[in-house]
Amino acid sequence: MAHLLRALILLMILSIALTISLALGWVHIENFSHIKVSIPSFIYTVFAQAFVMFYFIGVARLVENVRAIVTSEKNLDELFDVPPPDLKPYREKVQRFYHEAELCKRQTIPWTMLMLVLGMIAFFLGGAHDTGMVAKHVHSGVVYGFAASMIIGFFRQWHYLGKSHKLLRELKTLFQIPDGQM
């Protein structure tokens, strides 16, 4: 799943880069202005960021649920066929997994939200500029802020998607959870 999400955010960066390149006049595509490209690009950005955000929320929630089971020692049959007598090694590993999952979530979700908010503002200011209500430099400034937050967020998401993927593999291996199951 992390590889799919990495592909989604890479395509997102490329589509926004194309939009900005069209707006700056670096690239020319017959019958396509940056306005026509920005609409599907931003809709796709919302789509990709929603997937990324819910992936990190889902990983953190899975680890939190496993942590609750191991610490409460109730419903151990959900994790083990035959529960071991000593759960201390499992508690320690799950506590580390919990910390890592929360860190991944805390390090990526704010960038996702910043991207979405700045992208929406830039999108609306683009429409306002097109109707003559806002100066071009206002729209451009917000777009540059959006682009900067997207670049920073992209690298953070790329990094933490790898960490979360590894964390999920370790957690599923520890409790022998099938790959297709959350």
Q: What's the pLDDT tens digit per position in 23-40? A: 998 989 888 888 889 999
* pLDDT score of 172: 86
Confidence of residue 146 (pLDDT cuts 50, 70, 90): very high
Q: Pick from 33, 54, 44, 60: which is nearest to 9 by CA?
A: 44
Distances (CA, A) of 139 to 43, 50, 92, 150: 18, 24, 50, 16
Average pLDDT, the chain: 90
Confidence of residue 17 (pLDDT cuts 50, 70, 90): very high
Confidence of residue 173 (pLDDT cuts 50, 70, 90): confident
How much of the chain, in percent, has pLDDT values that exceed 90?
Answer: 64
Sketch the domain layout of the chain as residue ranges: 2-25+34-58+106-175
> Mean per-residue pLDDT for 77-88?
79
Q: What is the DSSP letter of 76?
A: G
Per residue in 66-91, is it b (16+ CB within 10 Å) or e — as a string?
A: bbebbeeeeebeebeeeeeeebeebe
| Cα angle for residues 50, 56, 60 (degrees, 5° grid) | 140
Q: Which is higher by pLDDT, 77 or 124?
A: 124
* pLDDT score of 69: 87
Confidence of residue 181 (pLDDT cuts 50, 70, 90): low
Confidence of residue 46 (pLDDT cuts 50, 70, 90): very high
> Mean per-residue pLDDT for 172-179?
80
Q: Pick from 50, 52, 40, 49: which is nearest to 123 by CA?
A: 40
Q: Pick from 87, 89, 104, 76: which is nearest to 167 by CA?
A: 104
Neighbours of 170 (CB within 10 A): 14
* pLDDT score of 48: 95
Confidence of residue 152 (pLDDT cuts 50, 70, 90): very high
pLDDT over 80 (residue 178): no
Q: Is 3 exposed, middle or buried (0-12, 13-18, 19+ CB in 10 A)?
A: exposed
- pTM for the predicted model, two decimal places: 0.85
Q: What is the DSSP letter of 78?
A: G
